[in-house]
Structure 1
């Protein structure tokens, strides 16, 4: 196990105090290339980038970069017609319709979303499911279609049994798929029909069943943040300050971000940001300080948008200043 003081050897020295800045992606140059190609409607270029990143190396970030690009729904239609047996355009169409669906719903509370918005949201998610199932049929070993079906399933409220089956289908293909576990954690949250007990049990079982150094330790931190979010002011701070919560966070950190096998790949930066927020909320200044240092001022929108949806970097800076240097 790498001690907190050893992080500088593996995660980089923190020279001074870098200004916080939101990092929209992992820094992978392929993300920018595929987003630019999608915006231009250049399917051959999009396909080239996606095919260069096999499913075994987790191309979810690249797919979301395409899916979040406006206008993809227009140019992907003729591609689907021209390539009726190809899985990749169906996967792209499915991911785009998920993002497009949430654009219709917006991030507003359900009580503030109109019936017309919900109808369009659900229609686009049902279309996404059609394309994702077709992609899965054509490429049974691919992970991304099943991960996409986890996302659509939560939006369509398919129920816990179906949601669990979709999660299991994803992790059969990639046992330590971070995004799949994040989706299932949300599925078993109290706010989505689960419970705090089920959420914490899932987080711990997933994190500690995985080898040391994987990113799944984040699930434990997310679960504590989710329970904190569910509480009123006062009880929320009391919850995070409990000895058993702090001990749980340290145990998860030891098994993931502090482990000798932890490496900077995939969603590592988001994982560090999540532990930084959790430890700061718990009042564990030393642990939080080391997490902030390891991020080197790079902020991920999740989980900081829970504190400030319009300016996650401001929330990061505020919590970092509160724990001191």
Structure 2
């Protein structure tokens, strides 16, 4: 099991992200690309003239440049140690994030992906440190992952009845595990994120969801993954409506502090709306444009190496283009460089072509 965490474990992390973050955004760029195709200039598009990387250098294998070798080495070491039966490096890896709750959650997701392959180390950690909130939360996260593996990734009406029934049978145990984990720490928001995830999956009514949300925001008011789960709860396909989802995202955008990715929740709301109702349902007008520009300003304040920045920047470039904010979209494409292995471009047979056509549309719209 310890042969290589990359790409094998990265694949597990990606699979876990599908379970915990069902953004479902990969195929939503078609309208923009079709528009871009229709608007192609007669002369060949010269990206270099617009400050963009050459078309030949586009790379659809990654959303951004690979992390530094030392980061990969650290993650590999954590996985190897766990698979060899030593939980201590995993515990230290999460503890090193301190009270940066967003970073801590990302590190816990890595541990869940490790445990998907072999969870003996996690069982031993729980036995050696029964009062450790992180260990208890990772165990609860693993239960959620296992339940969603049974369910599968389809919409509710696409899931076979027996699998849906088994999914619903497994969820209460995950909720109870998270509830007990919450008792182990008065400050760690991780257990609340798990409970919110399960409440959404179980379609619990708002009067049951709101106290869980209050618990999360009391512990970590700007928790990104918690807000993503909240957004999912309030979207129309789960427990709310388009209007409730958009209101939730607008509130997150207003409250997003400098240096936080929270403003990006607005982009995920646009994804959900476009998927459910088509690009014609997307907000338009000055207020909609102002919100997109506000998201762009928020992303400028994120550290350049923030793990969430590339994915959010790809979405921002796309929605700026759809909104006709060509100059702002073009700037995002410049910042993205050659990387196009992310939503929405991955929804196409050739993501690099889709990305390049979108860049061309932004350049033409900007009058360059």
Q: TM-score range by the shorter chain?
A: 0.7 to 0.9
Q: In structure 1, which of residues 250, 274, 294 is the aligned counterpart of residue 315 of structure 2?
A: 274
1:192 alignment partner, SS class: coil
Show the counterpart of 1:55.
99
Aligned match for 2:334, one of 265, 288, 293? 293
Q: Which residue of 1 aligns with 2:35?
A: none
Residue 317 and residue 74 in structure 1: after superposition, are their counterparts in 2 closer, same or farther (change >3 A)? Answer: farther
Larger Rg: 2
Alpha-carbon distance in 2 for matches of 1:166, 1:24: 35
Once the two structures are superposed, the pairs formed by residues 1-325 of structure 1 within 5 Å of their partners are 15-16=53-54, 17-23=57-63, 27=67, 28-29=71-72, 30-57=74-101, 58-69=103-114, 70-231=116-277, 236-240=278-282, 242-244=284-286, 246-258=288-300, 261-264=301-304, 265-299=306-340, 301=342, 303-304=343-344, 308=347, 314-315=350-351, 317-324=353-360
What per-residue deviation string (whole Å, max 9, x for no partner) do you get for residues 211-266 of structure 1? 345322212222222222122xxxx34344833475144343354124xx343324
CA shift in 2, pair 1:103/1:298, >3 Å: farther
Contact map agreement 1:218 1:252 (CA 8 A) in 2: no
Q: 2:350 & 2:144 partners in 1: Cα distance? A: 29
RMSD after superposition: 3.1
User: What's the CA shift for 1:46?
Assistant: 1.5
Deviations 1:177-210 (A, max 9, x none): 1111111111111111212222222211221123
**TM (normalized to structure 1)?**
0.79
Alignment length (residue pairs)? 302
- How many angstroms apart in 1 are the aligned matches of 2:297 and 2:310? 16
Please state how far the C-alpha of 1:121 moved relative to its aligned partner: 2.3
TM-score under structure 2 length normalisation: 0.71
**Residues 19-69 of structure 1, C-alpha deviations (whole Å, 9 max, x = no match):** 233349983544444344444443222222122222335311111112123
Structure 2: which 5+ runs fail to align?
1-50, 364-368
Which runs of 5 or more structure 1 residues have no equivalent in the other structure?
1-12
Structure 2 vs 1, CA of residues 14 and 24 (structure 1 numbering), >3 Å: closer, same or farther? closer
Q: 1:45 to 1:214 in 2, by over 3 A?
A: closer
Q: Closer, same or farther in 2 for the Cα pair 1:322/1:228, shift >3 Å?
A: same
Contact 2:340–2:351 (CA under 8 A) maintained in structure 1: no
- Structure 2 counterpart SS, 1:21: coil
- Are the structure 2 counterparts of residues 314 and 46 from structure 1 closer, same or farther at C-alpha, using a change threshold of 3 Å? farther
Write the distance in 2 (CA, Å) between the matches of 1:187 and 1:151. Answer: 8
The alpha-carbon deviation at position 90 of structure 1 amounts to 1.1
Equivalent residues of 1:304, 1:316 under 8 A apart: no
**What do residues 64-110 of structure 1 show as CA deviations (whole Å, max 9, x unaligned)?**
11212323444433433343333232122111111122111111222
Greater alpha carbon shift after TM alignment, 25-34 vs 207-216 = 25-34
CA contact (8 A) 1:90 1:135 kept: yes
Give the whole-Å Cα distance in 1 for the aligned partners of 2:332 and 2:283. Answer: 18
- Alpha-carbon distance in structure 2 between the residues aligned to 1:185 and 1:145: 18
CA offsets 1:281-304 (integer angstroms, 9 cap, x no match): 334433222222222344575x43
